[in-house]
A and B are shown apart, each in its own frame.
Chain A
Amino acid sequence: MNLHEYQARALLKAAGVPMFDGDVAATPTEAEAIARRLGGTVVIKAQVHAGGRGKAGGVKLARNPAEAAEEASQILGMQIKGLTVHKVLVVPAADIATESYVGLIMDRETQRPVFMVSAAGGVDIEEVAARTPEKITRLPVDPVIGLLPHQALTLAFTLYRDYAHVKAAAKIMEQLYTVFTGNGASLAEINPLVTTPDGRVLALDAKIVIDDNELDRRPDLAVLRDESAEEPSEVAARRANLTFIKLDGNVGCVVNGAGLAMATMDLVKYYGGEPANFLDIGGSSNPEKVIAALKIITADSHVKAILFNIFGGITRTDDVANGIVQATKQFKVGVPIVIRLTGTNEAEAIRILNGAGMKALSDMDEAVQQVVELAREAA
C-alpha cells in the first residue's frame, strides 16, 4: 500500500525526523490558512500516487496566502496520470544547500532491509542506479540486531564532510530504520534529504510503501489507505476479496491462482488477443466472489468477451459454476463467456453449467483461442 507524502511525513515526524513545518489541505481556504500560519513563500504539492507531479503542474509556488488559495484551487481536482487530486500539502519554500537520497528497501536477495544512500539526491534514484550505480552506497542491515551506530555514521560520511551534518544524518537514518521496521514497510525513502544554508539537515520529501500483509494486524496503518486515489474497479475487487488489476485489452479473465492468472493473460496475448485484466479469485472461492468478479469485469465497456480459467484444487469448480449461473440470472453480462474448468468436482460443475444452457471446456489452449476469436469478432 502506497502512502501519500503527507502520511509518510507524519510517520517520520512521529519518529523525530526533522523537517519543515507544513500541513495538508483539502480546500483552497485550508491551504490559505496554512500559508498564513507558515508565512512567506510556500510550495503547494498535489497528494497523488503518481510520479512526475511537478511536470504535470501539480507542484506550485505561492508567495502569499491569497496565491496559496489560488494555486490550491487549480491543483485540487486536477487529474495527474488519470488520478484526481483531493489533497495538497503546503510547506515553506525552502532555501536549500545540498540534496541527497536516503532510502531503505526490503531486499529479496539478502533477505534483509537494505539502505541505499547517495549524494546525488532529488532525482529519480532508479535512474541513478541504472546510469551511475557507483554513486549509490548499499548496506544490508541485520534485522535481528538492527542498525548499528557505526553503520549509520559510515553511511552519513558518504553524504557529508561536515561532522555536524554527518551526526544529524546518522540520527535520521536510525529514525528512518525505526519507521521502516516499526511499520512493516517494503520501502521508505527520504528524497531529497537536504542541508540548509544555516546548517540544518532536513527531510524534504518522503515516500513509504507498506507491505499489504501488515494491514490486518495494523488497523492504524490500514486506515491510511486512500481509496479515492485508486482505480474504482480495483477498490471494488479488494472489498470482494479479489485481486484485480485493470489492463487495456478486451478479453476479461477470471482465474484462480496468481501464477495461472498471469499465464492465462500471457496465453491470450500468445493467441493474438489482449487481456483486459488480471483477476485472481483466490483459493476458497464461493459463488459470491464469482458474481463480484463478473460485475467488476463487465463494468469495463472495453471488454468484448470473458474467459474463466479454473484449475480446481482447493477451489471447487462447482462453486465457480454456481457463481456463473447465478450471476447471469442476476444481471445481463452482455458479452460471450468461455468457460474452462478442470479439477475438483468437475463433473458436478459441468452438470450445473449444462443445466443453464452453458458449455464448459477442459483445455486451456482451446478456451483461450475461442475467447480471443469471440473478442475479435465483437470488436
Chain B
Amino acid sequence: MSIFIDKSTRLVVQGITGRDGSFHARQMIDYGTSVVAGVTPGKGGQTFAGTVPVFNTVAEAVAKAGADTSVIYVPPAGAAGAMYEAADAGIELIVCITEGVPVMDMTKVLPYVRAKGARLIGPNCPGAITPGECKVGIIPGNICAPGRVGLVSRSGTLTYEIVHHLTRNGIGQSTCVGIGGDPLIGTNFIDVLAAFQADPKTDVIVMMGEIGGTDEQHAAAFIKANVTKPVVGFIAGQTAPKGRRMGHAGAIISGSSGTAEEKIAAFAAAGMGVMRRPLDVVTLVKERLQ
C-alpha cells in the first residue's frame, strides 16, 4: 500500500499538449503511471504519444476514460480555472504543479475544492510518487526505490537530495509527497502525516519543512498527540534573513515568527529526530527502522 496514489490511480493530465505538460506526461507514462487521458481545450480528439486520448474538458476525461486523479501543468493565469474544473468533474485527487498562482485566487479555490470533496495537493509543488507503482508530477523516478519510509516536504529539489541519500543507502520509500512552497496550499503536513500514520506500509516518516509560517509547529504538535510512528525532521533556511521571500512565496520570516530555530525546537519537543543537514537522514532513519 501507500498513500494518495498507487497502481490503481487513473490519471488525467491537464495541459498535456503544453511544453511542460507533454514532457512530464511522457516521463509519467515511462514510469508506469496509467495516464488515461489528457485535457487541452480545443484539442479534443487528438491522441498523445500514440495512446492517450486528449479531451476538451476534464468532465469528458472522467466520463469517457474513467480518470480519478488529475495533474495540472497549465500556466499560472489558467491554473485556478483548471483546479475548479477538476473539482467540478468529480476528480478525487488534484495535484497542481504550477508555480506562480496568485494567492488571492487560492482563497476561493481551496474552499471550493473542499466543498466538492476533493483533495488538492499544491500548487507550486513537485507532486507525489509511490516508487515502483505510480508517479504524479515531476519527482525523478530514478532516484526513488520502493520501501517503508514516507516523505513529506514543502520543497522539490531538497526532497530529491534527501530521497537520493536514502536510496543510495538501501532505504526505500512508501510514498513521497511534495506539498508545495506557497502560503496557501490544499494539503498540509498534518494531512499527509495522518495518512502515513494510517498506512500499514509506512514505518518511519521524514518531514522536510522550511522557514515561514507555523505549519511545522502545528505538525509537531500533531505528531506528539497522534503519530506513533517515528518521525525525522529537517528545516531549511537556518541562515535566511528576516523579511525576505526565499524563492518560495511561503518562505519568509515575518517579525520573530517562522524562524528555523522555533521550528527545530518544536520538532525536538515532539520527540522527533532532528536533521542538522540532509545527510543526517540516513543515520536517523536507520536507527528508527531498527
Contacts and interface: CB of A to CB of B under 8 A. Distances in A.
Nearest to B215: A108
Interface string A307-345: 000011111000000000000000000000000001110
B158 A111 contact: no
Given A108-B183, A245-B244, A257-B158, A216 B214 contact: no
Interface string A247-277: 1000000011111111101111110000100
A212 B247 CA distance: 11
Contact of A263 (B140, B161, B184, B215): B161
B103 A211 contact: yes
Interface string A207-251: 000011110110000000000000000000000000101010000
B111 A144 contact: yes
B277 A343 contact: no
A107 to B, nearest CB: 9
Interface string B71-112: 000001100000000000000000000011111101110110
A213 B237 contact: no
Contacts of A166: none
- How big is chain B's contact interface, by range? 35 or more
B155 A265 contact: no
B248 A258 contact: yes
Interface string B246-284: 111111000110001000000000000000111100000
B104, B215, B277 pick with most chain A CB within 10 angstroms: B104
B210 to A, nearest CB: 6
Given A143-B107, A266-B239, A311-B164, A216 B246 contact: no
Interface residues of A, number: 53
B224 interface: no
Contacts of B255: 126, 129-130
Given A126-B255, A257-B156, A313-B157, A266 B103 contact: no
Given A186-B103, A365-B277, A108 B250 contact: yes
Interface string A115-152: 00000000000100110000000000001100000000
A198 interface: no
Contacts of A313: 126, 138-140, 156-157, 160
A343 B143 contact: yes
A109 B155 CA distance: 19
B159 A270 contact: no
B236 interface: yes
Nearest to B247: A258
Interface in B170-228: 181, 183-184, 208, 210-211, 213-215, 218
Contacts of A283: 99
Interface in A90-128: 106, 108-109, 111-113, 126
Contacts of B260: 266
B239 A265 contact: yes
Nearest to A269: B239
B169 interface: no
Contact of B108 (A143, A211, A255): A143
A126 B257 CA distance: 10
Determine which residue in A126, A260, A280, A365 has the highest number of CB atoms from chain B within 10 A of its CB, and name it. A260
B275 to A, nearest CB: 10
B238 interface: yes
A46 B23 CA distance: 50
B277 A266 contact: yes
Contacts of B241: 245, 247
Contacts of A262: 158, 210-211, 236-240, 246-247, 251
A270 B181 contact: no
A256 B159 CA distance: 12
Nearest to A180: B104
A109 B214 contact: yes
Given A130-B255, A213-B76, A313-B140, A259 B164 contact: no
8 contacts: A106-B183, A111-B111, A111-B184, A129-B255, A211-B104, A262-B239, A267-B277, A311-B160
Question: Which 5 A-B pairs rank lowest in CB-CB distance, beginning with the nearest?
Answer: A259-B155, A258-B247, A257-B157, A259-B158, A262-B236
